[in-house]
Amino acid sequence: GLLPRQEHKYRDLNMIGNREVSEKQRLELWKEYERRKEELPQSVTNFVDELAETNHLDNVGFRRRNLPALLAKYFLDMSDSMKNSLKMMKPGSFGFYVVGNNSTNVEGIKKIIPTDMFLWEIGQKVGWKQVSVINMELLKSRDIFKKNRGTAESILVFKAPLSTEFERTAIYSLGDVSKFRDSGEEWNFNDEATQTHLHSIHPYPAKFIPQIPRKAILQWTSKGDVVLDPFCGSGTTLLESILLERKAIGVDNNSVACLVSEAKIAEYTNSDIDILKKFLVEVELLKKKEQGKTEVIIPQYKNLEYWFSKEAIMDLGRINWLINKLEGNSKALVQAIFSSIIVRVSYQDSDTRYSRKEYEYVEGNAFGYFIQKLKRVVKSVEEVMNLPKEEAKVLHIDGKNLESIEEESVNMIVTSPPYLNAYDYHKYHRHRIHWIDGDVELARDKEIGKHDTFTRPNADPDLYFKDMSKCFDEWYRVLKPGSRALIVIGDAIVNKKPVPVAEQFIKIMNEKGFNLENRWIRKIKTSRKSFNQSARMNEEHVLLFIKP
């Protein structure tokens, strides 16, 4: 009555952490990972993708070739498991996960697979509240995996959110909004890939998925029209606009946002590709310390050594020195890639958590991360380089004053303004801004809706709406008559009180002279919202206004 032998491989495939797959299964697992990868933290997908860069080469043995797909399956399986476990927990109860790390060899170099930290982030992403990580040593292993197994395990301590947190909803609009939910399905796009083209060049919290601006631009503009995103962030609307042959203008007060946007919209040539490939060789020589005389460019700012190890500072400084020898589009692209790895090699907990978490930085890691990312981005540039595109520009200014944009010169606005009390872009990008020699004060002082401001006692949400009202004045001025503005926005909580942000936007926009043409409520794939770790913000508003 035991399991027949012919069924073993199917049962094995369904186990979490299985080690054996056929080539067909590997390809199926990898396809599934590509479809679902945004459910995982970016640190996990970065690791898996970088491993795939080397392990998917033709001359690699089948076990190493299988590893990226098996790791992807393992982390997705654990995400599902931790999510389903959380559903069974009583509010405020604890969960303990005992986790051991592993390692693999990449081009002859031992590479640790930090399973404990990856599951720590996965747990948070699916809704667990992080409590603590307890490290413990293991007795020397005598099993057959001892060459790869680590010498320590971690106990990950989580807590289920309190019931009041589960009872919160995402939508605080007045009246019945069920019809907006029904019609909003056309804006969900939850099963579509969102990291195509150059959209994956840089991590950016609360990223605007490209399908939304693509749909809006196709539906309400024509080729040659001008599309404005006054909160352009990582440049999603801009890239979609120029690929659809619409001119684009992006505005942001954050230096990182402007750098990433400029890298995405630049017009690259074969000459740029040659420069990037030569630069890649120089970085690899620099990593091996075969570059000859080298220098460092290191920003000087308060607590630099508190947030980075000395080894990480030197590695970043050497890369930064080499980058500053470049010019033009190639330099902007490489700088954006450099910016993307900075938090990863720092002691900053994550892209969405501004707290210090010390770990042992291995000298040379920054080079490894940078090289792997640069290789991937060069391939993406080659894919889009020869596609027909329009021109675009990025303005590093305060979005409340668009005087550099002519009156009635824009055909459509497509944007997702900062959510009230949701995020601090300037804070979580602060190290990046310093390293790219950006403007910290502009990002900090002009940011709208920042979490730091609206978590203070007696914080007043009216300040947010006053700032947005100034933005709406500028939108009305630059839009042509008969043109539209599409806004994606979520409601909020301030001082434990719900704030119906969308309703207030509608009121203010009407006062400015706009007419609400349509509205929808879309469901968010909660794993995509980096500030939505407890999955409360699972819906957001899509508002379409027209200027008469």
Tracing tokens 């539209």 back to the chain, one arrives at 484
pLDDT for 171 beyond 90: no
Mean pLDDT of 366-386: 91
Name the residue among 173, 221, 241 with its Cα closest to residue 485: 221
Task: Please compute the mean of the pLDDT values over residues 317-344 and round it to a whole number.
Answer: 94
Whose structure tokens read 């091996």?
Answer: 288
Q: Mean pLDDT across the stretch 343-362?
A: 87
Does 221 score more than 90 pLDDT? Answer: yes
The pLDDT confidence band at residue 167, using thresholds 50, 70 and 90, is very low
Q: How far apart are CA 131 and CA 133, in angstroms?
A: 7
Q: What rounded mean pLDDT belongs to the chain?
A: 88
In this predicted structure, what is the pLDDT of residue 143?
53
Residue 325 has pLDDT above 60, yes or no: yes
Q: What was the pLDDT predicted at 528?
A: 46
- The predicted structure's pLDDT at residue 423: 76
Q: Which of 35-49, 130-144, 498-512, 528-542 has the highest mean pLDDT?
A: 498-512
pLDDT tens digits for range 277-286: 999 999 999 9
Among the ranges given (61-75, 336-350, 367-381, 530-544), the one the predictor scored with the smallest mean pLDDT? 530-544
Structure tokens given for 529: 């919202």
Percent of the chain with pLDDT over 90: 60
The pTM for the full model equals 0.73
3-state secondary structure (DSSP) of residue 91: coil
- Alpha-carbon separation of residue 400 from 82, 441, 464 (angstroms): 43, 16, 12
CA dihedral sign, ordered 238, 35, 104, 149: positive
Long-range CB contacts (within 8 A, 24+) of 140-148: 145/102, 148/102, 148/103, 148/104
Amino acid sitting at position 210: P
Instruction: For residues 243-270, give the mean pLDDT.
Output: 96
pLDDT tens, 25-71? Answer: 888 999 999 889 888 998 899 899 988 888 888 777 878 888 999 99
pLDDT for the residue numbered 457? 86
Measured CA to CA, the distance from residue 255 to residue 239 in angstroms comes to 18
Instruction: Report the distance separating Cα 211 and Cα 294, nearest Å.
Output: 44
Is the pLDDT at 534 greater than 80, yes or no? no
pLDDT digits (tens, 9 = 90+) for 184-208: 989 988 767 666 668 888 988 777 8
Rounded Cα gap, residues 227 and 144, in angstroms:
60
* C-alpha dihedral sign at 513, 519, 523, 525: negative
Mean pLDDT computed over 88-100: 93
Q: What is the pLDDT of residue 1?
A: 78
Highest average pLDDT, of 94-103, 134-143, 355-364, comes from: 94-103
